[in-house]
């Protein structure tokens, strides 16, 4: 075990007392044992602070509790960066406080990065998890999101970036990343307090280094009304966060002197889509209609 690469697992949380213990227990359930768990409190005012502290007091060898000065609320990116600054592992993994891991994620992801030293990060498709409620109507709603790329392949930079710009479903989740690569790209951007903090980070990684896309699902993404994504959609913050992301990406691509036409084309399309949502929906409907017509014509031609 002493020869196993050490993994720093980071769970950031803000008022997550309903779910955080289950997330933590899914880390303790890992078949891979060479890990530390960093619980980063983003200024919680509920019982999640007490829960996190109790785990660190019970097992200080494996669990550490962290918070911002003055128990401040700094947002998701700043909290992830606090965890990264305190990480001791050569690999870093992120688990949200309302989600859970399958027990083999660390064992299999570490093995992949050890097998493919050129890959900076590994990820796989995630399960949209509704059945956690225990309600009969939710039992059949669980599904694994499409990967969006050929499974079990290394994707060279910058090919993954335009893919997840066009389709949010392909944004890497349930990731394991080499810590030296995180430090090289500068970690997360503190200005992104909530939504799109993951896309900013993944854009940095995917533009910088190869990424391994696995076909294995290891991550259960809990669906509930209090999640960051659903809250943003209700409040309208998703719209402003998208604009902030696209503006950041434009500046970052210029600063990094990215020349790839596919990346810039995808960025331009997304800006147009953002600025003309009604026109985009009409074009999308027209494209779907033409696909159906072409399908019918193909069937007719074969008959």
pLDDT digits (tens, 9 = 90+) for 161-220: 998 888 766 678 899 999 999 999 999 999 999 999 999 999 999 999 999 999 999 999
pLDDT tier, 232 (very low <50, low <70, confident <90, very high otherwise): very low
Q: 120-156 burial string, b = 16+ CB within 10 Å, else e?
A: bbbbbbbbebbbbeeeeeeeeeeebbebbbeeeeebe
pLDDT at 65: 99
Sign (positive/negative) of CA torsion 120, 121, 122, 124? negative
Kindly state the average pLDDT of the residues 23-51: 99
pLDDT at 262: 93
Extract the runs of DSSP E, i.e. beta strands, from 108-180.
Answer: 121-124, 126-129, 143-144, 153-155, 173-178
pLDDT at 303: 47
Give residue for tokens 């064992």.
107
DSSP helix, strand, coil percent of the chain (3-state; round to 5) = 50, 15, 35
- Residue 295, classified by CB atoms within 10 Å of its CB into exposed (0-12), middle (13-18) or buried (19+), is exposed
pLDDT at 156: 97
DSSP annotation of 180: H
Q: Give Cβ neighbours of residue 206 (< 8 Å, ≥ 6 apart).
A: 155, 157, 158, 159, 160, 161, 164, 172
> Residues 67-74: contacts with CB within 8 Å, 24+ apart?
67/40, 67/41, 67/42, 67/43, 68/41, 68/42, 68/43, 71/41, 71/43, 72/43, 73/14, 73/42, 73/43, 74/42, 74/43, 74/190, 74/193
Under a CB-based contact definition with an 8 Å cutoff, are residues 147 and 97 in contact?
A: no
Q: Higher confidence at residue 2 or residue 280?
A: 2
Kindly state the average pLDDT of the residues 81-96: 98
> ω into residue 158 within 30 of 0, thus cis?
yes
Q: What is the pLDDT of residues 248-303, one digit of tens each?
A: 999 999 999 999 999 999 999 888 887 766 654 555 455 555 556 455 545 554 54
Whether residue 68 is predicted with pLDDT greater than 60 in this model: the reply is: yes
pLDDT at 164: 83
For 101, phi and psi rounded to 5 degrees? -100, 150
Residues in a beta bridge with 63? 37
Region class of 70: left (phi > 0), else alpha (psi between -120 and 50), else beta? left
pLDDT at 176: 98
Whether residue 245 is predicted with pLDDT greater than 50 in this model: the reply is: yes
**The pair of three-digit structure tokens given for residue 226, joined into one six-digit string:** 């209090």
pLDDT at 224: 79
Q: How far is CA 96 from CA 123, 220, 227, in A?
A: 15, 10, 10
Distance from C-alpha of 97 to C-alpha of 65, rounded to nearest angstrom? 14
pLDDT at 60: 98
Other CB atoms within a 10 A radius of the CB of residue 288 amount to 10
Q: Higher confidence at residue 136 or residue 7?
A: 7
pTM for this structure? 0.87
Distance of CA 194 to the CA centre of its chain: 12
Under a CB-based contact definition with an 8 Å cutoff, are residues 245 and 164 in contact?
A: no
Q: How far is CA 80 from CA 9, 34, 174, 209, 268, in A?
A: 11, 20, 14, 20, 29
Give residue for tokens 């960051």.
228
Distance from C-alpha of 183 to C-alpha of 203, rounded to nearest angstrom? 14
pLDDT at 279: 55
pLDDT at 227: 52
pLDDT at 300: 52
């Amino acid at each position: 075990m002493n020869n196993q690469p050490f993994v720093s697992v980071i769970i950031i949380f803000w008022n997550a007392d309903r779910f955080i213990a289950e997330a933590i227990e899914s880390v303790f359930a890992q078949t891979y044992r060479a890990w530390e768990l960093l619980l980063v409190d983003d200024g919680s005012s509920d019982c999640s602070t007490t829960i996190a502290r109790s785990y660190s007091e019970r097992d200080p060898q494996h669990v550490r509790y962290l918070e911002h000065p003055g128990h401040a609320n700094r947002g998701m990116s700043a909290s992830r960066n606090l965890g990264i600054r305190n990480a001791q592992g050569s690999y870093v993994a992120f688990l949200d406080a309302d989600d859970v891991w399958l027990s083999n994620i660390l064992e299999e992801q570490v093995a992949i990065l050890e097998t493919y030293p050129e890959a900076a990060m590994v990820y796989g498709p995630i399960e949209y998890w509704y059945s956690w409620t225990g309600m009969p109507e939710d039992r059949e709603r669980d599904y694994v999101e499409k990967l969006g790329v050929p499974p079990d392949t290394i994707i060279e930079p910058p090919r993954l970036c335009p893919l997840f710009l066009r389709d949010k479903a392909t944004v890497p989740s349930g990731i394991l990343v080499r810590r030296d690569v995180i430090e090289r790209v500068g970690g997360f951007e503190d200005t992104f307090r909530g939504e799109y903090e993951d896309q900013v980070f993944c854009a940095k990684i995917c533009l910088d280094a190869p990424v391994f896309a696995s076909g294995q699902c290891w991550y259960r993404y809990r669906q509930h009304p209090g999640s960051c994504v659903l809250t943003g959609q209700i409040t309208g913050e998703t719209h402003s966060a998208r604009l902030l992301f696209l503006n950041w990406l434009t500046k970052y691509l210029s600063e990094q002197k990215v020349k790839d036409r596919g990346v810039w084309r995808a960025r331009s399309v997304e800006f147009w889509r953002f600025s003309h949502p009604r026109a985009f929906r009409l074009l999308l409907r027209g494209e779907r209609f033409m696909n159906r017509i072409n399908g019918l014509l193909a069937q007719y031609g074969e008959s």
